[in-house]
């Protein structure tokens, strides 16, 4: 009986596999890491940055320099996240860390008020809790202040 309980506890423990997280409590541990399904055909050349990446309600967000509105970040295809020492790091398609929660970044892209699920994927199956507006980020993420 004790062995069964121990095995049950071990199999439900929280651990991270690059870009995907298995959790004991899906409400508090979920990260809705949004990425584009395919590279955007649009030329999104606006520049945003100067504010820190935040994690609110399981969504990675940033404020655009020109306002106080927080945008949910939709990362390029191939980007993923990894928790290292309790901090969420963002990795590019070459598995290089490009930023982490708390970093102030500069990244080109474009703002959209809404997204359709056919335009993005998320690390957690089901309906996203990330609300718009959204920032479709390009590959050129640059940390300007850790």
Q: What does the pLDDT look like over 99-112, one tens digit per residue?
A: 999 999 989 888 88
Average pLDDT over residues 139-145: 91
Q: Which residues of 35-64 are buried (b: 16+ CB within 10 A; e: fewer)?
A: bbeeebeeeeeeebbebbbeeeebbbbbbb
pTM greater than the 0.85 cutoff? no
Position 3 in a domain: no
Q: Tens of pLDDT along 60-84? A: 999 877 678 899 999 999 999 999 9
Position 1 in a domain: no
Position 104 in a domain: yes
Position 89 in a domain: yes
Position 7 in a domain: no
Position 92 in a domain: yes
Position 6 in a domain: no
What is the bridge-based pairing of β-strands 134-137 and 104-112? antiparallel
Position 61 in a domain: yes
Greatest C-alpha distance within the chain: 61
Question: What range does the domain containing 123 cover?
Answer: 16-145
Question: How many independent structural domains does the chain possess?
Answer: 1
Q: 6 φ, ψ to 5°?
A: -60, -45
**Weakest mean pLDDT among 25-29, 50-54, 77-81:** 25-29
CA distance 105 to 115: 23
Question: Helix (H, G, I), strand (E, B), or coil: what is residue 94?
Answer: coil
């Amino acid at each position: 009986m004790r062995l069964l309980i121990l095995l049950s506890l071990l199999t439900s423990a929280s651990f991270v596999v690059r870009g995907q997280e298995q959790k004991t409590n899906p409400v508090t541990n979920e990260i809705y890491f949004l990425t584009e399904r395919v590279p955007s055909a649009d030329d999104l050349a606006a520049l945003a940055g100067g504010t820190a990446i935040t994690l609110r309600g399981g969504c990675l967000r940033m404020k655009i320099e020109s306002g106080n509105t927080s945008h949910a970040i939709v990362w390029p295809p191939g980007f993923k996240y990894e928790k290292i020492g309790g901090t969420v790091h963002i990795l590019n398609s070459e598995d290089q860390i490009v930023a982490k929660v708390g970093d102030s970044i500069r990244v080109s892209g474009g703002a959209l008020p809404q997204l359709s699920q056919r335009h993005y994927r998320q690390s957690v199956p089901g309906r996203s809790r990330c609300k718009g507006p959204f920032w479709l980020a390009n590959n050129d993420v640059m940390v300007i202040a850790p």
